[in-house]
Amino acid sequence: MDDIDSSSGCCGDDSDDTGSSNGSSDSSGWDEIMTDDPMVDGSAFNVSSVSCLFCPQIFRSVEDAIKHCSVDHQFDLVNLKTKLNMDCYSYIKMINYIRSIKPDPGVLTESVIANNQLWQDDKYLKPVLYDDPWLLFDFDDMEEMEFGNGSSTAQMSYSGSCGHHVNAENGRVTLSETHFSELQKKIQELYAQVRVKESLLKDAEDAICRMRQTLNNVITSENKSDTNKLNSVPRCVSSVDVKDDHCYFNSYSHFGIHHEMLSDKVRTNSYRDAISQCVTGKNVMDLGCGTGILSMFAATAGANKIIAIDQSDIVYQAIDIIRENGLDQRINVIKGRLEDTIFPKDCDKFDVIVSEWMGYFLLFEGMLDSVIYARDHHLAPGGLLLPNRCSVSIAGFSSPGRYEELIGFWSNVYGYKMSCMKREVVGEALVEVMNHDEQITDTFEVFTIDLMTATVDSVNFVTEFKLNASRDGELTSIVGHFDVFFDLKNSIFFSTGPSTTPTHWKQTVFFLKQPISVKQGEVLYGKMICQRHKKEVRSLTVTIVIKDQKQIFMLH
């Protein structure tokens, strides 16, 4: 460090920085440091020489360079900041743009007039020059500056945030040794911060390049294997790779779920009665056969040929069950997903296709897709689908006790609030048997489907509904159920509604975020939107809008 004077001794003196053993605060308590070192010289204490943005000229401070750019290049940075409401990041990008592109100042001025900031690209956040003084300049605190031919020896009085008083005159700065040390420390900290940010920006840039390359590789690979697959999302089960569908079929491998379904007498007896009416002498497909119970009903009713197909491992038990009952010569069991199975040409059309395909809220699980595929590819002309028609209905329920148990619970859990958990609860539809006495509105049919004309997009529907309140109460949920129809000579019908014998499907319950007070005779208008999940084709999203409330529920 050059040219250091002190009225109380040199820097190596053992005295403290006040220069007095009794702590007096007179003028001798300051070290006068006068230096030509650019680290402390000039009115803004710049850290290095500053090169002009547009020419080779060098300046001792950024302020001087700013004045030069305004006077000699007609590039007014102060006015530019005000006009563009420029923040620090925009300023950094502009400096790096100028450093890298080296544009004529007039080009920049024209771009500003045209409201076209040429430096908007984030790549200009990366410094072009190492330790560029322009990037260290405190742009956010830049105040109005007067540009002209003022003397370079102008005086400035500066009072830092730490309370140190500084005088600068004729290129010489007077400040205390403590203040000088603090400035050096601050400068080093800023250097370190800049280097860290440069490193982070470089890492981010490299990561983005790697991601882009990876994405390009994926796109190229996908285009080679299947040009249509890249830009499409699965619309139905057949578009999903069977390996990705393994979890669904695996869920039907355990005996427990089959015990539950076979114990459901409403469901099982309805199928048996329908099958017994129409399969004599017919070729029958049992789609999703499970344990083979429907195939055995068909064999007993006199069906000609029966194909039972299921991708789940339960088919191995079905083979044993069918053999155990002496029906293995009448029923041929196939393990596989229908969409991937090739039948012999002389045995690929069926007079009757029977399937117990319905899921919760009718459409959950997406097995309707397989029924439609079977109809389009394997149903003989004039053939039958069992069942052939279904509908979905909703009603309003008041279940304050259950609402408090599931949702109110989170307001106070051992003295702690866990209200955020309520969002999780009301975001999922529940499957429960509801008490019919809690129903406080009439029932409204929101959806009906004819299996002979349905498509894979039929699961997506929008219905406006109205519910008439049958009594006063607090509406806590919208409850959905479905009805199943076998339109035969002697029609068969069963319901999963809350006023009928419970089935294994139970009811689907959509709890509201906030209960709604209703009066007898009041009409509640709303909308229901059902959609296939964009990624999980066997799952559903159901949106309910009612009385200024809008909620989205998942069935998965």
Assess whether 514 and 366 both reside in one domain: no
Same domain, 54 and 143: yes
- Same domain for 114 and 263, yes or no, is no
CA of residue 456 relative to chain centroid, distance? 26
Which CATH number do you get for residue 334? 3.40.50.150
Residues paired with residue 516 on neighbouring β-strands, in sequence order: 475
Tell whether 547 and 437 lie within a shared domain: yes
Q: Is 171 contained in some domain?
A: yes
Question: Per the domain annotation, does 44 fall within a domain?
Answer: yes
Structure tokens at 97: 């743009």
Q: Assess whether 404 and 378 both reside in one domain.
A: no
Question: Looking at the structure, do residues 397 and 363 belong to the same domain, yes or no?
Answer: no
419 in a structural domain:
yes
CA distances 236 to 43, 373, 463, 534, 556, Å, are 72, 10, 22, 10, 15
Domain boundary among 197, 215, 232: 197
Indicate whether 423 belongs to any domain.
yes
Domain end, chosen from 340, 363, 386, is at 386
Task: Report how far residue 388's alpha carbon sits from residue 449's, in angstroms, rounded to the nearest whole number.
Answer: 9
Distance CA 154, CA 63 (A): 13
Rg of the chain in Å (alpha carbons): 40
Question: What is the token pair recorded at 521?
Answer: 């005779």
Report if residue 35 sits inside a domain: yes
Per-residue pLDDT of the chain (556 residues; tens, 9 = 90+): 444 343 333 333 443 443 333 443 343 333 333 334 333 333 333 345 788 999 988 888 888 888 888 888 888 888 888 778 887 778 888 888 998 888 888 888 777 777 777 888 888 888 888 778 888 887 766 655 554 444 333 333 344 444 555 565 555 667 677 777 777 777 877 776 777 677 677 777 777 877 777 776 666 555 554 444 333 444 655 555 555 545 544 544 455 677 988 899 999 999 999 999 999 999 999 999 999 999 999 999 999 999 999 988 888 889 999 999 999 999 999 988 888 888 877 788 999 999 999 988 898 776 889 999 999 999 999 999 999 999 999 999 999 999 999 998 989 999 999 988 888 888 888 999 999 999 999 999 999 999 999 998 888 999 999 999 999 999 999 999 999 999 999 999 999 999 999 999 999 999 999 999 999 999 999 999 998 877 676 778 899 999 888 999 987 7
Q: What is the DSSP letter of 494?
A: E
Q: Is residue 335 included in any domain, yes or no?
A: yes
Q: Which residue pairs from 69-75 have beta carbons closer than 8 angstroms and sit at least 24 positions apart in sequence?
A: 69/105, 70/147, 71/147, 71/148, 73/105, 74/105, 74/106, 74/109, 75/105, 75/108, 75/109
Question: Does the annotation count 365 as an active-site position?
Answer: yes
Please give the residue range of the domain that contains residue 329: 247-386
SS3 479: strand
Residue 59 lies in a domain: yes
pTM passes above 0.85: no
pLDDT at 161: 40
Tens of pLDDT, residue by residue over 44-83, are 333 457 889 999 888 888 888 888 888 888 888 888 887 7
Q: Cα–Cα distance between 473 and 438 in angstroms, integer?
A: 10
* Inside any domain, residue 213: no
Q: Of 331, 360, 386, which residue is a domain's last?
A: 386
Per-residue pLDDT tens for 340-380? Answer: 888 877 788 999 999 999 988 898 776 889 999 999 999 99
Q: Same structural domain for residues 312 and 379?
A: yes
Are both 550 and 425 inside the same structural domain? yes
Identify the pLDDT of residue 19: 39
Both 409 and 339 in one domain: the answer is no
442 and 417 in one domain? yes
| CATH assignment at residue 456 | 2.70.160.11
Which one of 177, 339, 356, 438 is the catalytic residue?
A: 356
Tell me which of 177, 339, 365, 438 is the catalytic residue: 365
Do residues 359 and 445 both lie within one domain?
Answer: no
One-letter amino acid for residue 220 of the chain:
T
The pLDDT of residue 59 is 87
Please tell me the total count of domains within the chain: 3
362: alpha, beta or left? (left if phi > 0; alpha if psi -120 to 50)? left
Say yes or no: 179 and 43 in one domain. Answer: yes
Check if 445 is active-site.
no
- Residues constituting the chain: 556
Q: How far apart are CA 218 and CA 113, in angstroms?
A: 43
Q: What is the pLDDT of residue 345?
A: 77
The CA–CA distances, whole Å, from 214 to 201, 204, 313, 402, 426 equal 20, 15, 38, 50, 39
Cα separation, 238 vs 458, whole angstroms: 15
